[in-house]
């Protein structure tokens, strides 16, 4: 009987591991809360239904110098403090200057005329609880994006409600 229970539970655990999808593939929506700091009430909050994609203009418009769409180049640009965050949708390689950061392929989308950034990606880059020095690539990206007003992101995927919860702390302009 003991062997039967051991085999039964082993098969059950193995079967569950096969049918539980990867967290990244089952995200249905993202809830984004914007706040100035951890003790301040939130400024705005919204749930987006485009998987884990967050609209760039909604996120940055009030907190940076400008958010622009350059239709001739098919490029969106977030400008702040003389630096630029570039979203390239031209399907052509573009030259990036020293004061620019090109969002890597796969971390931005153009949906129904709007530019989106991957909430899970930006959440991992600015994760408040991540230990710096553990991931050199993320540290390098975070340092290159220091011109953005993001002071930290508290992110949590909740399998209970299927929502990626992002609380983004931003400095006001």
- Is 80 contained in some domain? yes
Q: What pLDDT, in 10s, does the model give residues 81-125? A: 999 999 999 999 999 999 999 999 999 999 999 999 999 999 999
- Is 18 contained in some domain? no
The answer to whether 70 touches 76, Cβ cutoff 8 Å, is yes
- Is 124 contained in some domain? yes
- Whole-number Å distance between alpha carbons of 53 and 122: 10
Strand, helix or coil for residue 156: strand
Q: What pLDDT, in 10s, does the model give residues 52-67? A: 899 999 999 999 999 9
- Is 4 contained in some domain? no
Cα 123–Cα 127–Cα 131 angle in degrees, nearest 5: 145
- The domain containing residue 94 runs over which residues? 26-170
The answer to whether 63 touches 56, Cβ cutoff 8 Å, is no
DSSP state, residue 97? -
Total domain count for the chain? 1
């Amino acid at each position: 009987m003991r062997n039967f229970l051991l085999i039964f539970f082993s098969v059950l655990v193995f079967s569950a591991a096969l049918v539980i999808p990867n967290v990244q593939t089952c995200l249905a929506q993202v809830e984004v809360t914007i706040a100035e700091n951890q003790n301040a009430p939130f400024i705005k909050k919204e749930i987006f239904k485009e998987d884990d994609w967050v609209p760039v203009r909604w996120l940055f418009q009030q907190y940076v110098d400008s958010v622009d769409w350059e239709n001739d180049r098919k490029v969106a640009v977030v400008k702040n403090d003389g630096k630029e965050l570039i979203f390239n949708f031209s399907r052509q390689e573009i030259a990036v200057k020293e004061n620019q950061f090109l969002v890597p392929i796969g971390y931005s989308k153009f949906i129904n005329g709007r530019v989106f950034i991957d909430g899970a990606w930006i959440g991992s880059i600015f994760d408040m609880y991540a230990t710096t020095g553990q991931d050199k690539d993320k540290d390098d990206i975070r340092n290159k994006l220091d011109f953005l007003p993001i002071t930290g992101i508290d992110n949590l995927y909740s399998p209970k409600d299927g929502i990626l919860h992002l609380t983004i702390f931003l400095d006001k302009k």
